[in-house]
Chains A and B, each alone.
Chain A
Amino acid sequence: DTAVSQTPKYLVTQMGNDKSIKCEQNLGHDTMYWYKQDSKKFLKIMFSYNNKELIINETVPNRFSPKSPDKAHLNLHINSLELGDSAVYFCASSRGRTSGGYEQYFGPGTRLTVT
């Protein structure tokens, strides 16, 4: 059983398009995250949700809109894609909220390439 799953694994699209990435966790965790990992492997948090409530929004452009229909799912929609959005996007989950999620479980990642 996959703990944290993401779809799609690869996404190639043109500038200006809109795309979505889906994430699901079956660990029963309360908190989910979206991270962006750039070409230099720098891993930066974008958003965090706890029980469907947005708790972290790290000054991400508003072209990025997360949605959490329930605590097991966190999706990421990106409008008007730009070249700089090319990266690997990871979904993660952890127990708790204020704990900062020191032990996070990551999905396999979605490699987004914008041409």
Chain B
Amino acid sequence: GQSLEQPSEVTAVEGAIVQINCTYQTSGFYGLSWYQQHDGGAPTFLSYNALDGLEETGRFSSFLSRSDSYGYLLLQELQMKDSASYFCAVRGFQKLVFGTGTRLLVSP
């Protein structure tokens, strides 16, 4: 089976940097994806790590350590529009298994 753990909620102010952690236990692992979902909206793909290390995409970066079964999403220069839920998802054989999600609240 697979299980993923994320903090349920994180708060930060505009302009700050925030890190959302994800730890996983899985019987089959090909990589870790991150998705963003605004209230009432659909999940949208942010980033993917298949190998250890940091992947940078604009203000967002994602990190993976396969040996530690751990990854994180780093959001820099936070903006109000970044207030959303963020999901890590383990890529297994033929499917993604999503974590429980982290609600990020950005205040002025």
Taking beta carbons and an 8 Å cutoff, which residues of A are in contact with B? 33, 40-45, 48, 55-56, 90, 92, 97-109
Q: What's the minimum C-beta distance from A59 to chain B, rounded to whole angstroms?
A: 12
The reply to whether B94 and A98 form a contact with Cβ atoms under 8 Å apart is: yes
Choice from A48, A90, A99, A101 contacting B42 with Cβ under 8 Å: A90
Asked if A102 and B94 sit within 8 Å, CB to CB, the answer is no
Determine the interface band of chain B, counting residues with CB < 8 A from chain A: 20 to 34
* Contacting pair A103 B48 (CB below 8 A): yes
Interface residue ranges of B35-70 to A (CB < 8 Å)? 37, 41-45, 48, 50
Residues of the A chain whose Cβ atoms lie less than 8 Å from the Cβ of B92: 100
Contact at B30–A100, with CB atoms within 8 Å? yes
Q: Is the interface of A mostly helix, strand, loop or mixed?
A: loop
Interface contact A106-B96, CB-CB below 8 Å:
no
* Chain B residues in the interface with A (C-beta under 8 A): 30-31, 33, 37, 41-45, 48, 50, 85, 87, 89, 91-98, 100-101
**Docked complex Cα distance between A92 and B44 (Å):** 10
Q: Are A43 and B87 neighbours in the complex by a CB distance under 8 Å?
A: yes
Query: In the complex, A48→B95 CA distance in Å?
Result: 8
Q: Evaluate contact between A101 and B48: CB separation under 8 angstroms.
A: no
Given A41-B85, A43-B87, check contact A104 B45 (CB 8 Å): yes
How many angstroms between the C-alpha atoms of A108 and B38 in the bound complex? 11
Is B85 in contact with A101, judged by CB distance below 8 angstroms? no
Complex partner residue of A56 from B48, B50, B94, B100, CB under 8 angstroms: B94
Known contacts: A90-B43, A102-B48, A107-B42. The answer to whether A45 contacts B31 by CB under 8 A is no
